[in-house]
Structure 1
Amino acid sequence: MTPAAATAENLGRALDSIVDRVPGAQFAVVLSPDGHLLGASRGIDDELATQLSSMVCGLQALGLAAARVCGDGELHQVVVQMSQAFLFHATTGNGAVLAVGIDGEAEVGDMAYEVAMFVAQAGDHLPVYLEPARVPVTPVSA
């Protein structure tokens, strides 16, 4: 069986579904690795989409730096806890980035589950993004 083509409509429905399943969920967006908005849940206007894209790119850069300096492996998730909200940021196996916002009344565990399920099924909704080839560094002789 051939998988369904990834379309903005399919992705929008998948993001709406995440928001609909968790009471208190506010939005869900998916960005390409270079920060382009690929899809958003309903109610995201252009201004909010731009703000979310910038913010999520910053979190992605910070998370990648933390993984490089402090960890041994790939970045999987960043969770930002605020006084009355949470922001979940997860990197899919395809290389895209999912960000989901919930209010302080939402069940954090339910959203963590939804984010994990979306990441596991991202291939159904998103194209694959390849990392740039790494060029081997050769030492310079003096």
Structure 2
Amino acid sequence: MTHAVVTGDGLTGALDRLVDRVHGAEFAVVLSPDGLPLGGSRHVGAKLAEQISGVVAGLLALGLATTRTCDAGELRQIVVQMSRAFLFVATIRNGTILTVRIAGDDAEVGDMAYEVALFVGQAERHLPVSLEPASSVRSGDAGVHKRLR
């Protein structure tokens, strides 16, 4: 039996469970198609969410340019390997973006790759996002019609 990624306790709970399942996982953030933070795991404050949003925007631009140049189909995932951490950026078919950081010498990178793929596969059914047309966006509104909690 498959369990829904996002249940009654919301997106934060789902992201907390994702981080809790893999040794070394530090945080997870879901961004809207236009890069606005929709939710994060525990310990993800507004400043970190904004920084991740900016980093992911740049990575996605490079990834999309690469797919066009290489004529390689749709962009699914970007993995950035650093000396002490990995950053996973995965696109979800509804346009949302999952970002997860895992760190430490004994971090389970393969397990995180599996969990990211599992989350993405289930999330497209449970994270509906629809953006309002620009003409209907009100001042101070981020443009996300249906916010996730």
Report the TM-score range of the alignment, normalised by the length of the smaller protein.
Answer: 0.7 to 0.9
Q: Any conservation in 1 of the 2:80–2:86 contact (CA below 8 Å)?
A: yes
Q: Name the counterpart of 1:58.
A: 58
Question: Which AA in structure 2 matches 1:116?
Answer: A
Task: Give the drift of 1:54.
Answer: 0.6
Question: Looking at CA atoms only, which structure, 1 or 2, has the larger radius of gyration?
Answer: 1
Per the alignment, residue 20 of structure 1 pairs with 20
Give 4+ residue runs of structure 1 displaced > 6 Å after superposition.
Answer: none
Matched, 1:121 2:122: yes
* Percent of paired sites with the same residue: 64
Q: Residue 120 of structure 1 aligns to which amino acid in structure 2?
A: G
**Residue matched to 2:112:** 111
For residue 28 of structure 1, report the CA deviation from its aligned partner: 0.2
Aligned length: 127
Q: Which sections of structure 2, spanning at least 5 residues, go unmatched?
A: 134-149
Task: Report Cα offsets for 1:51-79 as digits up to 9, x if no partner.
Answer: 01111111111111111111321000000
* Alignment RMSD (CA, Å): 2.1
For 2:92, the equivalent position in structure 1 comes to: 92
1:57/1:9 CA distance change after superposition, 3 Å:
farther
1:7 CA drift (Å): 8.5
Q: Counterpart in 2 of 1:35?
A: 35
Structure 1 residue runs of 5 or longer lacking an equivalent are 133-142
The match for 2:67 is 67
